[in-house]
Structures are given as structure tokens and as C-alpha cells.
Amino acid sequence: MPAHKVYLAGPEVFRPDAKAEGARLKALCEAAGIEGLYPFDAGDADIRRGCIGLIHRADAMVANISPFRGHHMDPGTAFEIGYAQALGKPVYLWSADPRALAARIPAHEEPGRDVDGHLIEDFGKAENLMIVPDGAHVWASAEEAIAEAGRRVSHGALNRQLQRETRRSVVIAFGIAIAVAFGASFVVNYLVGW
């Protein structure tokens, strides 16, 4: 079983084939060398609490931000993204419709405004800028986002392991240096005492 885990956020749980889609996404994760945690893995307990628990267990998140029941993404997924980011976990986004919001939301009488007269966000992003911050990439498929998460999560874990090993080596070297210094001090005191 892969050591690194990613939480699979998105509206897939509402699909008629939700379990099969979850199995497909988890298989993609396994092929990428990571373990996918799907919301159904939380069991039959409190769904919100279960998903939050899975996010805590994960090293990262892969989130589907495709439009869902309208022009924007699933609001539950938006919450999960914010939660993961607040925990400092990397989030890998994907969307089946990567067009900018301004291209997806039809303007009405006044350019840049929707049918209710509200301003249409036009930052060239596939979702609200709180979801897709500057510098964030939105992949075109779950396959691409999961593959990238697998590469980066594994690389980050390797870096953390190397840092731990380096710290351990420094502590051992320091201990040896102290032992040698005490030993040399003992030898010098012994020889001077002659």
C-alpha cells in the first residue's frame, strides 16, 4: 500500500455511478504511487466529520472544480479545498471545463454583468480566485491532476526523509565529536599528570 495519501474531493459522490467512479479515481492514485481517500471511505458516520477526518489523514488533495449544477463548482468541494489549504496541504485542481468564468457565465445587457446585474469575475481563471489563486494550475482531467500529485507528494516526502536523515547524521556526528573531545581531554589529563 502506498505510504502517501491524497483526498479526492469533488462532486463525484452525487453521480449515479459514484462508487465505481471512486474506485476508478483510487485506481488512478494507486497507479501514481499514492493512496486515494474517497469520501465514501469515511463510512456511514457523520459525513462532514468523516470527510474532515480523511482530509487530516491525507498528505494532499486532488479536487474536481468542474462546474456543478450551474456555472460554479460544488460548494462542498470549495469548503474542503479551503479546509485543506488552512491545514497547509497542497491542493491539485482539475476541471472538465477549464474556460474562464467570464466565458462560462453569460453577460446580460451591460457587459461584464450577469442577468441579475452582478459583476462577473474576470481574472481569466476557471473558478473564483479564492479557489484558483495566482500561480495555481488547473489540470484538464483527474488523470493529470492525480499524476502531478503523485510526483509532487512523493518528491516532498523524499525531501522530508532526507532532511530527517541529515539531522540524524548531524546529531550523531556531534555526539561523536563530544565523545572524542572528552576522550582527548582524559588522555591529556592522564599524560600531564605523569
8 A C-beta contact, residue 145 and residue 93:
yes
Region 168-181 average pLDDT: 74
The span from the CA of 157 to the CA of 69, in Å, is: 37
Task: Look at the block and give the residue holding cell 467570464.
Answer: 102
- pLDDT category of residue 179 using cuts at 50, 70 and 90: confident
Region 13-42 average pLDDT: 97
pLDDT of residue 188: 74
Residue type, position 192, single letter: V
CB environment 83-102: b (16+ within 10 A), e (fewer): bbeeeebbbbbbbeebebbe
Region 34-40 average pLDDT: 97
8 A C-beta contact, residue 92 and residue 131:
no
Domain boundaries of the chain, sorted by first residue: 5-162
pLDDT of residue 63: 98
Region 151-173 average pLDDT: 64
3-class DSSP state of 153: helix
Q: Is the pLDDT of residue 161 over 80?
A: no
Q: Is the pLDDT of residue 2 over 60?
A: no
pLDDT of residue 144: 97
State which of 107-111, 118-122, 187-191 shows the largest mean pLDDT: 118-122
Please provide the DSSP assignment of 71-89 as one string. Answer: SS--HHHHHHHHHHHHTT-
Distance of CA 38 to the CA centre of its chain: 13
8 A C-beta contact, residue 91 and residue 138:
no
Higher pLDDT: 18 or 163? It is 18
Question: 5-162 architecture in CATH?
Answer: 3-Layer(aba) Sandwich (3.40)
Of the candidates 96, 90, 106, which has an alpha carbon nearest to the alpha carbon of residue 126? 96
Least confident of 55-64, 74-83, 181-190: 181-190
